Amino acid sequence: MDIIDRRPNPHGKNLENRRRVLDRARGAVQAAARDAVAAGKLREVGQGGAISIPSDALDEPSLHRVFSSGVREVVLSGNRQFSTGDKVQRPPSGKGGGGGPGQAGGEGKGEDGFRFVLSRDEFLDLFFEDLELPDLVKRQIATTDSLAVSRSGLSSEGSPSQLDLGRTMRHSMARRIGLKRPKPELVDSLEDELATLRGVTGSEERVAAIEAELVEARRRIRRVPWIDPVDMRFRRFTVTPKPTTRAVMFCLMDVSGSMTERMKELAKQFFLLLHVFLERRYKRVELVFIRHAEVAEEVDEDTFFHDPRTGGTVVSTALQEMLRVQEERYPAESWNIYVAQASDGDNTGADTPKCASLLRDRILPQVQYFAYIEIASSGAVIRGETDLWRGYRAVADAESRMVMRQVGDKRDIFPVFRDLFAKRTEAT
């Protein structure tokens, strides 16, 4: 009998099979992931999590019979009250049946479908598969101010700490062989032989030969060093500029009296989606929350979403605040800047032209992308278009970096988001 401890064996035997399932059910999994987000479980977007897909996406058919009509006999256990001849009411939808050997598939399937637990990365990959950040490349190449040290081959000089021992010894050995440096063992064996022969009569000739050989060997050993400076190899490093991979995202939201909680919730969903999306593309994403009514202020996330505020609306204050923060902390040369603004489109009449010019002249030249979503509902609608919408549209028409969409309902958030970031095929 053998006992074998298999516990240290390589794990994850089924990762490949798991990947194949995901591939096979890709369409269904993707739809389910997006539904989960659309259904408002957005907090989970960042975590990954469980999703269910309809089981027929992974159907394994087989030929098997089902009982539909006629007579069959079923033996059950646990009889407490029945006697022969009793009539039992038929249980709804064939309980106590089961229909024979139908369960070929094994566990993990239920009526509601097949459940996957996705890792965060898998989830986001599926989720954002066909989306991309617009206008990303241009700015990245332009802003390469941070430097990184990287390996770049070998050199024959350098500091001792960077000595590449393996290569140095390889060269040393090649040189020693090339110059026929005698091995120390050879010298040792000659000396041994000399010691045994010395004083033995009739071996003087041999002794003389060995002594001559020894002298020559010792001379060569002295002449040809073990390690010569020409053998030395050092690891070389060079400094290369690295493209910036950090981004800041400004969330601007109108918190005036006309924004209801529901509307704020919609805005929040949009912001969160954008945040997760940016996190996929950048190593570091910072968030700045700016809320405004008549005046604008930078606040933390919690206040931003939950602190009730009322008052009139002056949108330009938010834009100015955003500019102030940006100039102070996030210089455009080293940061990728994204702005998302959510509003109900309500604004003080005279302020809209000011906003438009701020956007056009000062903000858009600095940022990667400016997304404006207008949450449609309340009374600020004039012929279907709000004042702010019209003002912005004039800017957006001329600038591809600015996009604007209207959102009326939770369901719209994701389509709008996808619409904004869908991959474009050489459009501009």
Closest contact distance (angstroms) between CB of 98 and another protein is 5
- Beta carbon nearer to another protein, 90 or 198: 90
- The DSSP element (H or E) to which 417 belongs, if any, is helix 410-421
Residues in 41-80 that interact with another protein by CB under 8 A: 50, 58-80
**Which residue in the set 34, 49, 115, 122 belongs to the binding site for another protein (CB under 8 A)?**
115
Spatial contact of 339 and 367, defined as CB atoms under 8 Å apart: yes
- Min separation Cβ 80 and another protein, Å: 7
Q: What is the DSSP letter of 129?
A: T
Q: How far is the CB of 86 from another protein (least distance, A)?
A: 4
Q: What is each CA distance from 278 to 133, 251, 281, 351, 407, in whole angstroms?
A: 8, 13, 5, 31, 21
State the DSSP code for 160: G
Task: Identify the residue among 27, 40, 98, 365 touching another protein (CB under 8 A).
Answer: 98
Which residue from 336, 344, 346 is spatially nearest to 274, judged by alpha carbons?
336
User: How many angstroms separate the CA atoms of 233 and 225, rounded?
Assistant: 16
Does residue 353 touch another protein according to CB under 8 A? no
Stretch that binds another protein, among 109-117, 264-272, 313-321, 358-366 (CB under 8 A): 109-117
The verdict on 26 binding another protein (CB under 8 A) reads no
Minimum gap (Å) between residue 104 Cβ and another protein: 7
What is the C-alpha separation between 157 and 154, in angstroms, rounded?
Answer: 9
| Residue 151 engages another protein in binding (rule: CB under 8 A) | no
Quote the CA–CA distance of 364 and 285 in Å, as a whole number.
19
Residue nearer to another protein on the CB measure, 7 or 223: 7
Decide if 281 contacts 249 (C-beta within 8 A): no
Residue 262's identity, in one-letter code, is: R
Which member of 33, 116, 377, 388 binds another protein (CB under 8 A)?
116
- 410 SS3 class: helix
Per-residue tokens: 103: 């369960």
Find the shortest distance in angstroms from Cβ 399 to another protein.
45
Count of beta carbons in the 10 Å neighbourhood of residue 393: 15
- Asked if 101 interacts with another protein (CB under 8 A), we say yes
* C-alpha to C-alpha distances, 36 to 28, 181, 305, nearest whole angstrom: 12, 75, 22
**Of the listed pieces 34-42, 99-107, 142-150, 161-169, which binds another protein according to CB under 8 A?**
99-107
Q: Which of 27, 100, 311, 353 binds another protein (CB under 8 A)?
A: 100
Binding footprint of another protein on the chain (CB under 8 A)? 1-7, 9, 11, 13-14, 16-24, 50, 58-80, 82-90, 96-98, 100-102, 104, 106-109, 114-117
